[in-house]
A and B are shown apart, each in its own frame.
Chain A
């Protein structure tokens, strides 16, 4: 098929592969990450007009390209304990999207300002195997965007207040020793809805995490520095009931969908990511995309996300249970 439409539509600067000849005549893409993000998505997929029309029509008619309805998820599979060196790890697949999350715990020192809290950091990396444009520095922008999105939803304020992960449970000796959690996400294969998949993977990885039990003995010889003895056998499970999942509602045309594929994401006007905890409370909200939304639509989206999240929790739990069953075999 031939996707080239030769009429230059300058209102669409994010036209797929902009031919060099035409580039000068097309309006420069507006600055800022949402617009450039859309431009990148478009080049990533490079759909023809016919396909775009088909996708938009499918969303309007509540029957998407793979037969899903608007608020249906793709098949979800979970694996746990895939990285032996990490304290906890998980692989989550949603359709063709595949992400890995690992949790590593290290003993560190709490900051002077918050002597009663441990530290958590979240970083996401996009593997070049997912898409050629992630090679070199190509993934930096997307990685940063995903990292920030997850940090906002999981970490709370600068002081650590309001974090989904209970930071005071990470403390070993107040003011002296605490656990530092390093949460790393890796995008192995990208077919849309990365943020939701990463959040799910992190939640599962945290459930899989065992933090070694420590024996502390205060020793006067070492200037009051505690001597910490890490147990190899005993692990403490982590309370993850407060860790939220993220539901991204992607708005295409007049409707919004969950679990968008990258083809569908290329057609989005805006996307609202709502993080919801298991009690149905909203923990975070991010909006992407340059197009504006009516406040009432946002409220509507939040309530839809809340309902959908309960279904997603059930899905995730059954997938997690299946993964545990496989691991036990």
Chain B
């Protein structure tokens, strides 16, 4: 909770602590370690030591802060505050940091730049994001797979810790009720923007021309309200350290809307506390339903 610099009054502090405590109680017993902590292992098993672990006098010791993960014999520590670790097939969002004649270099919150070959782009078209294709000598090659991928227009980019975005089937979300697009990049970049129509038959030149003509035509105010609401929902959730899913983001945005919280006040202390309480309640209900029938 180090990120939360809120001015809470006494009751708010108590409520937030209670909610966080409840959440902790509900969380599956994930073993959090700091560095130099022992990781308990069964000495009879053969243990493979993975990332973030080290052998110290016959005991397995964590070398980073994080959560212990075990896959069969492999024990490793997944850090929370680390840079993004790419996997093949991830959908990510990047920011162009360098333009060369044949390729673009993208900043993707990975320890190295990612490379997007221009030969693989259908230039320039509607929307967003690329697929991480090959990892090869540590650098990242990206490939936009279809017309769906490409340049993002009209919206805002938020950065959250990468571990808050889980790999899912669906990363592109068109929220029809808001006329907005929400893209959760696996690298922790989240895009909230005006919905862009993907036209398979995009005539690139005409499109480009149209854009420059439209410069003064801004996003409609109603859509912008929704975009800002969604963006603030993402900000609140990531500051509280909740995994970002579309459902949760919409729910949080709706909660702000229904309780008549002004968009700006969604970043205020009261809304943080309410969000934490709501999430605690939701998870409590969920676990009760899971355990209930028994």
Chain A residue contacts of B94, Cβ below 8 A:
1-2
Q: Report A-chain residues with C-beta under 8 Å of the C-beta of B128.
A: 1
Closest B residue to A68 by beta carbon equals B264
* Nearest opposing residue in chain A for B214, CB measure: A53
**Inter-chain contacts of A60 with B (CB < 8 A):** 218
Q: Which residues of B contact A2 (CB under 8 A)?
A: 94, 96, 104, 106, 116, 150-152
How distant is the Cα of A253 from the Cα of B31 in the complex, in angstroms?
Answer: 52
Q: Pick the contact of B157 from A51, A61, A66 — CB < 8 Å?
A: A51
Q: How far is the CB of A47 from chain B (nearest CB, A)?
A: 8
- Quick check: is B288 within 8 A (CB to CB) of the other chain? no
**How many residues in B have their beta carbons less than 8 Å from beta carbons of A?**
45
The interface residues of chain B lying within 8 Å CB-to-CB of A74 are: 267
CB contacts under 8 Å to B, within A1-17, are 1-4, 6, 17
Main SS of the interface on chain A?
Answer: loop
Q: Check B6–A63 contact: CB distance below 8 A.
A: no
Residue-by-residue, is B127-161 near A (CB-CB < 8 Å gives 1, otherwise 0)? 01100000000000000000000111111110000
| Residues of A contacting B268 in the complex (Cβ-Cβ under 8 angstroms) | 75
Give, as a whole number of angstroms, the nearest-CB distance from B259 to chain A. 15
- A17 touches which of B98, B150, B229, B264 (Cβ 8 Å): B98
Q: Smallest Cβ distance from B237 to chain A, in angstroms?
A: 14
- Across the interface, B219 reaches (CB within 8 A) one of A17, A54, A93, namely A54
Contact flags (1/0) for B150-184 with A, using CB distance below 8 Å? 11111111000000000000000000000000000
Contact B228 A63 (CB under 8 A): yes
The minimal Cβ–Cβ distance linking B68 to chain A, given in whole angstroms, is: 29
Q: Is the CB of B218 within 8 A of A57?
A: yes
Instruction: Check if A224 is an interface residue, CB within 8 A of chain B.
Output: no
A290 CB–B CB distance under 8 Å: no
Known contacts A51-B155, A54-B154, A61-B221; decide if A66 and B97 are in contact (CB<8 Å): no
- B232, A50: Cβ atoms closer than 8 Å: no
Q: Contact between B154 and A1 (Cβ–Cβ < 8 Å)?
A: no
Looking at chain A, what size class is its interface with the partner chain?
35 or more
Beta-carbon contact of B224 and A57 below 8 Å:
yes
| In contact, B99 and A6 (Cβ under 8 angstroms) | yes
Residues of A within 8 A of B191 (CB): 1
Contact B101 A21 (CB under 8 A): yes
**Contacting residue for B152 out of A1, A6, A58, A322, CB 8 A:** A1
- The verdict on B231 contacting chain A, using a C-beta distance below 8 Å, is yes
**Contact bitstring B200-239, A, C-beta under 8 A = 1, else 0:** 0000000000000001001101001100110110010000
CB <8 Å contact, B264 and A66 = yes
Interface residue? A67 (CB, 8 A)? yes
Inter-chain contact A1/B264, CB cutoff 8 Å: no
16 contacts between A and B (CB under 8 A): A1-B93, A1-B94, A1-B95, A1-B157, A2-B116, A50-B151, A50-B153, A53-B218, A58-B218, A60-B218, A66-B231, A66-B235, A67-B229, A67-B264, A75-B268, A319-B7
B residues with CB within 8 A of A: 5-7, 93-101, 104, 106-107, 116, 128-129, 150-157, 191, 193, 215, 218-219, 221, 224-225, 228-229, 231-232, 235, 262-264, 266-268
